[in-house]
Amino acid sequence: MILKQIKGIPVAILQFKNFSITSQRYCPSIDPRDSSKLLSNYLKFGRITDAENLFDNMPDRDVVSYSIMIHDYAKNGFHKKSMDLYSHMRILGLAPNSFTIVGVLVGTAGLQSLVLGQSVHGLVVKTGLESDMIVVTLVLDESINNSVLDMYSSLLDLDAAAKIFDEMECKNVISWTTMIGLLIDLEYASDALELFSRIRYGGISHDTVVIMNLISACAIIGDLKRGRKVHAQAVVCGFGSELTLVNSLIVMYSRCGDLNSSRTVFDQTSQRSLVSWTAMILGYPQNGHQREALNLLVEVRLEENFFLHPTMSTGSELSHINILKKCGTVELAHTVFKEIGYLRDVISWNAIINGYGINGDGDTAIALYYEMRSCGEGPDSATYQSILSACSHAGLVDNGLLIFNQMGEENKIRPSREHYGCVVDLLSRAGCLPDAIVFARKFLDGTDPDVWGALLSGCLLHGNVGLAELAASRIFEQDPEGSDHVVLLSDVHASVGRFQEAESLRLSRKMKGLLKILGSACCMGFHMILDENF
C-alpha cells in the first residue's frame, strides 16, 4: 500500500526509508517483491547508499534484487562491483534472468574482458535468452542482443560482433549505430558507409551518433563528395546545428582538404567549444597553413579566454603542443608566444620549452625556463620533464643536474619515474655511464627496461661493450620477447669493430623471427648498408 501511494514522488524517499527500517525491524520476512520495489526506487532517485544498505540487510535476496543492483552498478560505471555481485549470485546458485544478463554484459564491456564476455555470451545462448524464449518483451530481447554487440564492439572484436549483428532478427537504431561505430574505430570507413546505405533502404531512422560516425568515415577516407551528402542529410534531419556534429564536420572538411567549408562551418557556429577551436586550429597546419593556425590560437586566447580556465588545461595543452609540432618552425611559434603576452600560462611555457627541446635547442629551452621563473610562473612536473629532456638531447649535463636539484629544493616538486629516467638518459648520452648506473640504483628499482634502454643507448654512443652486455641482459630479463635491445647491442659491437659478434647477434635475432626489415643504419660516423633480407 505504501509503495503505491508514494510511487514517483522524490520527497517520499524518507517515507521509503522509514518503511524499510520499520519493516525489517518488526517483520524480517517482508515480501522480497516489496523489498525489490523499494530497492529500485532508491536507485531511481540516486540514493545508492540507502539501496546498498537495504540490499545488505535483506534476509532473502532473490534474482530480482541481485539483478537490480547489478544493472545499476553496470549502468553507472561500477563495472567491477557489478561483476563481483554477479559472481556472488552464481555462487548462491541463483540463475540469471534476462535483466541480469543485460547488466552483466554492460559490466563485462566496461571491464573489457574478452574471456569473461564470451563466457557470459555462452550462457545467454545456452539458456535461450538470446532468442527471446524467456524474455518477456521484444524490447528486452533487443537490449540483450545490443548489449552483447556492444561488448564485442568495446573489445574491437569485429568477427564476433558481425556474427551477432547478422544473426539478430530485430535490429534497431542502437544495433546499427554500434556496428557502424565499430567499423569506424577499426578504420573500415567504406564498409561503414555501405552499412549506412542499408539503414536508409531498410527504413530505419538514424540519430546524431550515426551521422557523426558517417562524417568520421568520410574524414578517414577523404571522401569529400560523400561528406557533403552526409552534411546535407544532417541538416534535413535537424541535426545540423548540434555542436558535437558541427565539430565533426569541421574535422571532416579539414581532412578532406576543404578549408573554406571547414571555416564556414566554424564561423557559422555561435556556441563554439574548446573542441571547435582545436579542430579548426589543427586543420590549418594539416593543410600547410601554419601561420593561420597560430593566428587563430592567439584569437581564441584573446576572445574566448579558454586556455586560462583550469578545467581546460588538458585540452589546451594538447592544442599548444600539436600546433608547435605542426607549425614547421619553432621560431614562428615563439613569435606568437611573445604576442600573447600576459595571457601566457604554465601550459604555454611548457609548450614552447618542449618545442625548442624536441628541435635540439637546449640552450634556448633553458633560457626560457629561467625566464619563466623570473616572470613569476611556477614550473610544474611537465615543465621539468621537458627541460630535462632538452638538456639530455643537447648534452647539457651540468645544467640538467642543476635544474633537477632545483625541482625538489626550490619548487618542492617530487620527481617521478619519468624525471629520474630523463636524468639517467642525460648521464648516459654524455658518457657518464658509471654515474648513470649509480643514479639508477639509488632512485629506481633497477627493473625498468626503459632505464636500461637509456644506458644501452649511451653505450652505443660511447662504445662501452661490457656495460652494453649488462644492460641488454637486464632488458632481456624484463622483456624476453623484445628485440630492439639485440639491435642496439649489435650496433655497439659494430661501433668498436667487432663485426663478427654484431653479425652473430643479428642472425640470432633473425632466427627468433624478430628481425625487422631495415634500410640503412648509421653507426658512429660510418654507414653500414644492410640488405633488406639480412
pLDDT at 254 over 80: yes
Report how many domains make up the chain: 4
pLDDT at 276 over 60: yes
324 and 358 part of one domain: no
Averaged pLDDT, 88-102 = 84
Is the model more confident about 97 or about 91?
91
454 and 486 part of one domain: yes
pLDDT at 349 over 60: yes
Of 342, 370, 389, the residue that ends a domain is: 342
| % of residues, the chain, pLDDT over 90 | 11
pLDDT at 27: 43
Cα-Cα end-to-end distance for the chain: 83
Residue 48, domain member (yes or no):
no
pLDDT at 446: 57
463 and 376 part of one domain: no
Band (267; pLDDT cuts 50, 70, 90): very high
Residue 28, domain member (yes or no):
no
Q: Which amino acid is at 479?
A: D
289 and 257 part of one domain: no
pLDDT at 155 over 60: yes
Interval 388-404: pLDDT, tens? 999 998 989 999 999 99
28 contact partners, CB below 8 Å, separation of at least 6: 59
Cα(407)–Cα(384) distance, rounded to whole angstroms?
Answer: 7
Is the model more confident about 30 or about 65?
65
338 and 404 part of one domain: no
217 and 256 part of one domain: yes
Of 226, 248, 271, the residue that ends a domain is: 271
pLDDT at 6 over 60: no
pLDDT at 320: 52
Is the model more confident about 497 or about 160?
160
pLDDT at 257: 93
Cα(310)–Cα(414) distance, rounded to whole angstroms?
Answer: 22
Interval 425-458: pLDDT, tens? 898 888 887 888 888 778 766 556 667 767 767 6
240 and 177 part of one domain: yes
Residue 32, domain member (yes or no):
no
533 and 452 part of one domain: yes
pLDDT at 465 over 70: no
For 118, what's the count of Cα atoms within 13 Å in the CB-facing half-sphere? 6
Is the model more confident about 440 or about 317?
440
Band (367; pLDDT cuts 50, 70, 90): very high
379 and 440 part of one domain: no
* Burial category of 500 from C-beta neighbours within 10 Å (exposed 0-12, middle 13-18, buried 19 and up): exposed
Residue 426, domain member (yes or no):
no
DSSP state of 304: T
pLDDT at 228: 92
Residue 508, domain member (yes or no):
yes
Across the chain, mean pLDDT equals 73
Residue 288, domain member (yes or no):
yes
Averaged pLDDT, 78-93 = 87
Is the model more confident about 228 or about 5?
228
Interval 169-192: pLDDT, tens? 778 888 888 898 888 888 788 888
pTM of the model: 0.42
pLDDT at 129: 64
Greatest mean pLDDT among 202-211, 280-289, 395-404 lies in 395-404
Residue 127, domain member (yes or no):
no
pLDDT at 330: 74
Question: DSSP 3-state assignment of 1?
Answer: coil
pLDDT at 396: 94
Note every long-range contact of 282-288, with CB atoms under 8 Å and residues 24 or more positions apart, other chains counting.
282/254, 282/319, 282/322, 282/323, 282/326, 283/250, 283/251, 283/253, 283/254, 283/255, 283/259, 284/254, 284/259, 285/323, 285/326, 285/327, 285/328, 286/254, 286/255, 286/326, 287/254, 287/257, 287/259
Band (240; pLDDT cuts 50, 70, 90): confident
pLDDT at 64 over 60: yes
Cell of 337: 608566444
Greatest mean pLDDT among 254-263, 267-276, 290-299, 481-490 lies in 254-263
Residue 422, domain member (yes or no):
no
pLDDT at 383: 94
Averaged pLDDT, 193-217 = 75
pLDDT at 91 over 70: yes
pLDDT at 387 over 90: yes
Band (476; pLDDT cuts 50, 70, 90): low
Of 292, 312, 342, the residue that ends a domain is: 342
Cell of 311: 578545467
pLDDT at 253: 94
The whole domain housing 324 covers 281-342
439 and 532 part of one domain: yes
DSSP state of 170: S
449 and 501 part of one domain: yes
Are residues 455 and 435 in contact, defined by beta-carbon separation less than 8 angstroms?
Answer: no
Name the maximum alpha-carbon separation found in the chain.
92
Interval 38-59: pLDDT, tens? 888 888 787 888 888 888 888 7
Q: How far is CA 252 from CA 196, 217, 219, 372, in A?
A: 17, 9, 4, 38
pLDDT at 528 over 50: no
pLDDT at 98: 77
CATH number of the structural domain spanning residue 192:
1.25.40
356 and 336 part of one domain: no
